[in-house]
Structure 1
C-alpha cells in the first residue's frame, strides 16, 4: 500500500458533496483528514480546503484523483515539510500544546521536546510560536 498526502481545494459547488465518502467507498482508499477549513461566503465565495492522507494501491489512488478532477476539486501533493532543529530547541514546550497532531511532544520527567515527522501535517503553527527558530519549512 502507498500513502500520500494531498491538499484539496473545493469550489463552492462541491463543498456540500460527500467527497471523502466516495474516495473510501468507490475507490477503496483509506483516508485520514489532517486539516479542514470551509470558508462560508455569499454564493461563489464559499470554498473549502482539506489536507488529506490517502492510502491504497497506486491504481486506486490514481482513480480517486481522476474522480476529484471530474467533480472540480483541485489537488496538489503536500509540497512542504517541517524541519525541527533539535540543537536550536530550548525545550520551552511552547509548541507542544498547540501542535494539533502531537508531532511535537514533551517527555516527562525530563521535559525534553521531541518531533515525530510522520505525524506532522505542516500546519505551520509551531513556526509562529517558536522564538528560537527551531522549526522551519523546507519546500
Structure 2
C-alpha cells in the first residue's frame, strides 16, 4: 500500500511507526507530504481498500506567559519557525514554518513550549 501511495499519488512518506502482524490488523503512522488533492485521493484509495485512515497532526504551542525569551529554542529550530525579534529580543513563533520536530520542547528551560497532537481535529496531548 505504501508503495502505491508514493508511486500513484506522488506522496512523500516517512514511516514513523509500524506495527504489522500477519493476518491481523496493524497500524502504520506516517508523515505524508503532497498536494491536498493527491492526499485526498490517497485517502479515498485507502478507504476503498478497506484501510482506516485517520489524520494525525502534530505541532507545538508556545505559552507566552511562561516564555522568558531566552532564545534557547531558536538555536535548535531547523525550520526557522522560532526566531528572536532584533529590535526587542522577543521570541516570534511562525507556526506555518514548524514541522514539529520537537527539538524546541526539549531545549526550553522553562517548559514554555509543549508538543500537541490532533487526531481528526481532536487534541490528544498537550
**TM-score interval, normalised by the smaller of the two chains:** 0.5 to 0.7
**Going by fraction, where is strand more abundant, 1 or 2?**
1
Q: List gaps (5 residues or longer) in structure 2.
A: 18-27, 117-122
Question: 1: distance between equivalents of 2:48 and 2:75?
Answer: 39
1:54 aligns with 2:34: yes
RMSD over equivalenced CA pairs, Å: 3.5
More contact order relative to length (CA 8 Å, sep ≥ 6): 1
- TM-score, structure 1 normalization: 0.55
- TM-score, structure 2 normalization: 0.59
Q: Which residue of 1 aligns with 2:23?
A: none
Alpha-carbon displacement from aligned partner over 1:36-73 (angstroms, at most 9, x marks no partner): 4689xxxxxxxx9642343334xx533212445789x9
Number of equivalenced pairs: 108
**Going by fraction, where is helix more abundant, 1 or 2?**
1
Q: List gaps (5 residues or longer) in structure 1.
A: 1-9, 25-30, 40-47
Alpha-carbon displacement from aligned partner over 1:18-44 (angstroms, at most 9, x marks no partner): 8445323xxxxxx6x6x94689xxxxx
